[in-house]
């Protein structure tokens, strides 16, 4: 298992620590989906960090690439290294402050496409299980009913493939815990294909990548107050 958390590299100097994971260079480019004076909507490819990692060799990322053309660009939120899809990038401090507040107050609506192992029985449902960091096995997260943080995910079946024994889901996280979608799907017996952190071996080998993509992002435009609905179709 490698550390695929958004941008965490080991910085603890002990002999027991694993060497930091050096992210291979991602040939695919960041796609600009929308642009105005205040913000960008971009499509981050999988296997590209959102922000620089701690290790000096993990500096290439979505925001440093975007800043080559938009020097004032700053990150408002993150996607894991293995997750592709839509992100909003602020172009000025007021925009950054406004959208960050919307994320903090859970006023931003997000949806993801995922392909999971097995045939999900219910057409829709919710998973409400508290999550905490597994400190002895970081960056893994665990379900903890005693002192985990509240985590809620809604799901809807989009397609069942009986031949492949997989289900395509629309996932809508109400909270934004680390690895929430991965661990929630694992907990209901349907791990996301290609997940090297929470999937069993069969589900891991059924896809060449993590089959998780941020598809939509909805929030209030910081300048006009109008609703912004960004959409980015998955490549899988």
User: H or E stretch including 217?
Assistant: strand 212-220
User: H or E stretch including 212?
Assistant: strand 212-220
Cβ burial, residue 162 (10 Å; 0-12/13-18/19+) = exposed
Cβ burial, residue 68 (10 Å; 0-12/13-18/19+) = exposed
Quick check: 170 and 111 in contact, CB under 8 A? yes
Q: Which of 80, 82, 123, 226 is catalytic?
A: 80
Quick check: 30 and 85 in contact, CB under 8 A? no
Active site residue 123: no
The tokens of 71 are what?
């020097």
Kindly list the catalytic residues: 80
């Amino acid at each position: 298992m490698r550390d695929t958390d958004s941008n965490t590299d080991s910085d603890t100097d002990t002999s027991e620590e694993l060497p930091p994971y050096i992210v291979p260079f991602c040939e695919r480019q960041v796609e600009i989906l929308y642009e105005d004076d205040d913000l960008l909507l971009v499509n981050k490819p999988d296997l590209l960090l959102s922000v620089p990692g701690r290790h000096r060799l993990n500096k290439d990322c979505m925001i440093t690439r975007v800043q080559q053309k938009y020097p004032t660009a700053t990150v408002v939120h993150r996607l894991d290294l293995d997750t592709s899809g839509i992100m909003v990038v602020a172009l000025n401090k007021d925009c950054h402050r406004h959208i960050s507040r919307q994320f903090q107050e859970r006023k931003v609506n997000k949806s993801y496409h995922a392909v999971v192992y097995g045939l999900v029985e219910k057409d829709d449902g919710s998973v409400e299980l508290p999550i905490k960091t597994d400190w002895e096995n970081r960056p893994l997260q665990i379900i903890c009913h005693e002192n985990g943080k509240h985590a809620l995910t809604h799901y809807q079946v989009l397609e069942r493939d009986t031949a492949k024994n997989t289900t395509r889901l629309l996932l809508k996280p109400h909270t934004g815990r680390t690895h929430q979608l991965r661990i929630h799907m694992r907990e209901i017996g349907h791990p996301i294909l290609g997940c090297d952190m929470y999937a069993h071996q069969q589900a891991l080998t059924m896809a060449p990548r993590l089959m998780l993509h941020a598809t939509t992002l909805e929030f209030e435009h910081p300048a006009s107050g109008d609703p912004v609905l960004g959409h980015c179709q998955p490549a899988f």
